[in-house]
């Protein structure tokens, strides 16, 4: 009996260790995030439907891109390239796709900004007004003419590349306040800075969005900047990654932002086999900071990239 008791204790300890290790592995597992909405319509050879993107089982976060005009007296404008025309109400058909993505556990965010369009704030009040607009039209509000119909998105993403860095903490803070006051589901916020640190638009310099500890996810764009993308070598990328993860206030999950093909960016492309090879950049950064996974820009340019790397992410 004494031996059996000892065996049971040993077995119990082993099982406890395995459970803990399993939990660690699950919690540290990365995911792939991507953007959808800027590559034509749903015909063959273009971006494809949002539902198909989600049904690929490759992605955990999808950004609807972009709310490309806002602030400075403008009526906010949703631009989904050739997919639909918000002004005529045809984008509302995507509400069912969004709901289908969410039913799979995928977070769907509205991305603000982008490389084209005009946006920015001249006052905190203007930023708070946009927060109310986003709530009314894309989150828990009740506007019957919402561009995406009855969709209730999971939050916002900031891909701010121009227009100045001011008042984005006011936007994010007010949006969280509205969601909490209305008992909304968990509201997520993300930002997509370029890899030179700190980002000119998003920080985390004092007063910027990333300085305000509002971000849940940070998609650092490791492309179009030779000093910190793949053209700087693995060591250069790892050094930049370390700088970012050591200096963002709060504990957001940080993602390695990459182009899905050479055509998706002006430079910095890493082919999928090089990305996941032993000792390479992905293997190294997974051990540093609050690793969240990989963000891919323009998955339509190489539909195989995500499936090639997902097992390693």
How do residues 94-143 score in pLDDT, each as one tens digit? 999 999 999 999 999 999 999 987 999 999 999 999 999 999 999 998 77
In this predicted structure, what is the pLDDT of residue 43? Answer: 47
**Domains along the chain with CATH numbers:** 29-309 (3.20.20.80)
- Taking the C-alpha atoms of residue 298 and residue 264, their distance in angstroms, rounded to an integer, is 6
Is 46 buried (19+), middle (13-18) or exposed (0-12) by CB count in 10 A? Answer: middle
In this predicted structure, what is the pLDDT of residue 82? Answer: 82
CA-closest candidate to residue 165, choices 109, 127, 221: 127
Encode the chain in three state secondary structure. Answer: CHHHHHHHHHHHHHHHHHHHHHHHHHHHCCEEEEEECCCCCCCCCCCCCHHHHHHCCCCCEEEEEEEEEEECCEEEEECCCCCCCHHHCHHHHHHHHHHHHHHCCCEEEEEEEECCCCECCCCHHHHHHHHHHHHHHHCCCCCCCCCCCCCCCCEEEEEECCCCCCCHHHHHHHHHHHHHHCCCCCCEEEECCECCCCECCCECCCCCHHHHCCCCEEEEECCCCCCCCHHHHHHHHHHHHHHHHHHCCCCCEEEEEEECCHHHCCCCCCCHHHHHCCCCHHHHHCCCCCEEEEEEECHHHCCCHHHHHCCCC
In this predicted structure, what is the pLDDT of residue 44? Answer: 40
In this predicted structure, what is the pLDDT of residue 9? Answer: 39
Q: Residue-wise pLDDT tens for the chain (313 aa)?
A: 333 333 333 334 333 333 333 333 333 489 999 999 987 554 444 677 899 899 999 999 999 999 999 999 999 999 998 889 998 999 999 999 999 999 999 999 999 999 987 999 999 999 999 999 999 999 998 777 899 999 999 999 999 999 999 999 999 999 999 999 999 999 999 999 999 999 999 999 999 999 999 999 999 999 999 999 999 999 999 999 999 999 999 999 999 999 998 988 999 999 999 999 999 999 999 999 999 999 999 866 567 899 999 999 9
How do residues 142-171 score in pLDDT, each as one tens digit? 777 899 999 999 999 999 999 999 999 999
- Taking the C-alpha atoms of residue 110 and residue 166, their distance in angstroms, rounded to an integer, is 20
Active site residues: 161
């Amino acid at each position: 009996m004494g031996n059996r008791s000892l065996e049971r204790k040993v077995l119990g300890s082993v099982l406890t260790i395995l459970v803990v290790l399993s939990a660690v592995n699950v919690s540290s597992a990365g995911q792939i995030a991507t953007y959808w909405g800027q590559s034509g319509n749903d015909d063959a050879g273009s971006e494809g439907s949002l539902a198909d993107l989600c049904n690929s089982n490759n992605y955990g976060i999808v950004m609807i891109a972009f709310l490309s005009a806002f602030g400075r007296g403008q009526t906010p404008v949703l631009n989904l390239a050739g997919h639909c025309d918000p002004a005529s109400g045809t984008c509302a058909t995507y509400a069912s796709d969004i709901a289908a993505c969410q039913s799979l556990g995928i977070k769907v965010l509205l991305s603000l900004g982008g490389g084209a369009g005009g946006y920015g704030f001249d006052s905190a009040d203007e930023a708070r007004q946009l927060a109310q607009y986003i709530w009314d039209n894309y989150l828990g509000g009740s506007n019957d003419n919402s561009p995406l119909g009855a969709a209730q998105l999971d939050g916002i993403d900031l891909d701010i590349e121009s227009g100045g860095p001011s008042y984005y903490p006011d936007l994010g803070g007010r949006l969280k306040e509205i969601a909490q006051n209305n008992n909304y589901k968990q509201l997520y916020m993300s930002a997509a800075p370029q890899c030179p640190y700190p980002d000119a638009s998003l920080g985390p310099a004092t007063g910027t969005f990333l300085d305000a500890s509002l971000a849940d996810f940070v998609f650092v764009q490791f492309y179009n900047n030779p000093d910190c993308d793949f053209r700087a070598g693995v060591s250069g990328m790892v050094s930049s990654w370390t700088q970012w993860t050591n200096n963002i206030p709060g504990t957001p999950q940080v993602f390695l932002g990459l182009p899905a093909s050479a055509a998706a960016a002006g430079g910095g492309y890493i082919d999928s086999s090089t990305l996941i090879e032993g000792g390479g950049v992905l293997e190294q950064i997974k051990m540093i900071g609050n690793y969240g996974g990989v963000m891919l820009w323009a998955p339509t340019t190489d539909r195989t990239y995500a499936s090639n790397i997902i097992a390693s992410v």
